[in-house]
Chains A and B, each alone.
Chain A
Amino acid sequence: MKQIALLITIILLFTGCSVIRPATYEYTILPSYTPISELTNNIKGTLKLSSTRSIASLASTQFYYLKETSSIDAYLYSRWADTPSSMIDRALYSSLQNQHLFGTLIPSTSSATADLTLESDLNAFYHCFHNDSSSEGLIDITYRLIDPKTKTTIASKRFIITEPSPSEDAKGGVTALNNATHNLSLQCISWLTLTLKESKWTK
């Protein structure tokens, strides 16, 4: 009797494992590797990029899409290779390095201290679908420039970036969010340049 029960359990388990599902695609956002011909580092201070804090649902590798009815769901067979916040951090770090805006750029993993710290909160990183069947990539993030010595906020700005999606699927969403991320990096660099213009850190 015992042998029969064990046999049934094993059959049921194998039945569960035998479900065939399509392969899951993993996507990432590649940092910008565009070289800058002219050096533009006109800020003598050092900048440390803190890790971007995100809302709980975005602290995963799920690829979420958003419908106009505010319903949110994740793609079943598409995932991010990293969390959105780490991909955004990597893209901004790479862009700042290419721009040579600061004398030294310190990643969040370093124990070194810097003259300035850039903190950020990620509120949205979605592939949004509209009723007219069009879609776009949406990023909502707030950056804060902090003076770590005095623990005071020098400046703060919220960026809401949208980029049209070339196709209404996960691949199109990845392309749109990729473009949005690079656009965000450029806008953030412009904001930093404007904020620190004629400050004590400007050469």
Chain B
Amino acid sequence: MESKVNYTLVGAFVLLMSSLLIVFAFWLGKYNDNANAYCNYKVYLTESAAGLAPEAAVKFNGVDVGKVASIRINPKNSEEIELTLKVKKETPIRTDSTAMLQFFGITGLAFIEIKGGSRMSPLIITSDDTIAVIPTAPSLIKRLDETLSSVITKLSGTLDHTNAVMSPQNIKNFSDTLGNLKILTQRINSYQDEIDLLLKNSLQTGQHIDQAMIKVGDSANTVKGSMETFKITMSERLSPTMKSWEATSKKTNALLEKIDTSINRGDYDLQTITANSTVELNELLAQSRVLQNEMELTLKSLRESPSDLLFKQSKLNPGPGE
């Protein structure tokens, strides 16, 4: 039996399949991607980029807006991972937007989530020459890691303090304190009768104080009456004395004023009173000095020749030209 092959159909099938293969190849090579419809952004992660691969999705508040174009270690800073994101031009990435690493459930696959950005903030401007950088925020894993690390550190410190507080010595001291408290309580219980008696006595003392206060009040009234009587007596008897005293005081005051006026007027100014006398005294002293010198000379001559008093025997020494 000889099969009949329709070569026309085969040829058409081959052409169709070839065309589809070419279309698939173009699709696979993303030939139809419009490069002008995307903008490039840089993101620098400071945490591990494990799970993130090129072509991974970039989401803006959960909406796919692009993909990760490249991943590499920042050549200028080895602590950072440099991501280049290809994001649709119409995506409103603003200056306060942040990019963070997110994971798809428990699969371990990661993507980049861009969040935030208030409506009033300006858009980030990027170009091929100057690629803008989107700030990063720590991912949930990193935040959990940091929080847990902090909690563990604090917990460890707390445990250390607790250990220090609960030292054998402190436990012993606390035990001793409880023992002492027990003894104290027992003693207080043994003094219960005395305490009751003391309270009764206090009550009686209070009553006595009340009675005493009543008596003190009566005494005060008596003293008040006596004081009023004394006041009346004193005012009657002292009044003339005080009046006499006042008159004397006035006279003394007037006398003092007169003395003050005299002093101010210079009546008792010793310097003025003695001024003339001082001048005359100075003159007298000067003259006395001259007289004293003359007397000294006379006495000197007499001492040298006492007989001169009667006989004038010493020879006088006349001066030049005398």
B276 near A111: Cβ-Cβ < 8 Å: yes
Contacts of B276 in A (CB 8 A): 111
Chain B stretch 110-155: residues in CB contact (< 8 A) with chain A:
none
- Closest Cβ of chain A to B298, distance in Å, is 11
Q: B275, B293, B310, B320: which contacts A16 (Cβ < 8 A)?
A: B310
Please give the distance in Å from B314's CB to the nearest CB on chain A. 12
Task: Output the least CB separation between A27 and chain B (Å).
Answer: 13
Contacting pair A75 B293 (CB below 8 A): no
Chain B residues with CB below 8 A from A60, complex form = 290, 293-294, 297
Give Cα A149–Cα B293 distance, bound, in whole angstroms: 34
Query: Which chain A residues border B319 with CB–CB below 8 Å?
Result: 63, 65, 73-78, 169-170
B309 / chain A contacts, CB cutoff of 8 Å = 16
| Interface mask (B282-322 → A, CB under 8 Å = 1, otherwise 0) | 11001001100110010000000000011110001111111
Q: Which residue of chain A is the closest to B282 with respect to CB atoms?
A: A51
B318 & A76 in contact (Cβ 8 Å cutoff):
yes
- Whether B278 sits at the interface, judged by CB under 8 Å, is yes
CB B55 to nearest CB in A, in angstroms, measures 105
CB neighbours (8 Å) of A167 from chain B are 321
On whether the beta carbons of A75 and B322 are closer than 8 Å, the reply is yes
CA distance A111 to B309 in the complex (A): 44
Task: Determine whether B279 belongs to the interface, using a CB cutoff of 8 Å to chain A.
Answer: yes
The residues in B between 238 and 286 inclusive whose CB is less than 8 angstroms from any CB of A are: 275-276, 278-279, 282-283, 286
**B282 surroundings in chain A (CB, below 8 A):** 51, 108-109
Docked CA distance A78–B321 (Å): 11
User: A194 contacts the other chain (Cβ, under 8 Å)?
Assistant: no
Task: Please give, as numbers and ranges, the residues of chain A lying within 8 Å of B322 by CB-CB distance.
Answer: 75-78, 169-170
B283, B294, B317, B320: which has the most chain A beta carbons within 10 Å? B320
Q: In the bound complex, do residue B283 and residue A109 qualify as a contact, i.e. CB atoms below 8 Å apart?
A: yes
Q: Hey, which chain A residues are within 8 Å of B286, CB to CB?
A: 51, 83, 86
Do A169 and B320 touch across chains, with their CB atoms under 8 A apart? yes
Q: Are A16 and B321 in contact (CB under 8 A)?
A: no
Contacts of A108 in B (CB 8 A): 282
Q: Does A36 contact B (CB under 8 A)?
A: no
In the complex, whether A6 has a CB less than 8 A from a CB of chain B is no
Q: 10 shortest A-B CB distances, which residue pairs?
A: A169-B321, A75-B319, A111-B275, A60-B293, A76-B318, A19-B312, A59-B289, A16-B310, A59-B293, A12-B310
Q: List 26 A-B contacts (CB under 8 A).
A: A13-B310, A15-B311, A16-B309, A16-B311, A19-B312, A21-B316, A56-B293, A59-B290, A59-B293, A60-B294, A62-B297, A75-B318, A75-B319, A77-B318, A83-B290, A86-B286, A109-B282, A110-B279, A111-B275, A129-B320, A168-B320, A168-B321, A169-B319, A170-B319, A170-B322, A171-B321
Q: A61-B290, A75-B319, A76-B317 are in contact. List 19 more A-B contacts (CB 8 A).
A: A15-B311, A16-B309, A51-B286, A59-B289, A60-B293, A63-B319, A73-B317, A73-B319, A75-B322, A76-B318, A78-B319, A86-B286, A108-B282, A111-B276, A111-B279, A129-B320, A168-B321, A170-B319, A172-B321
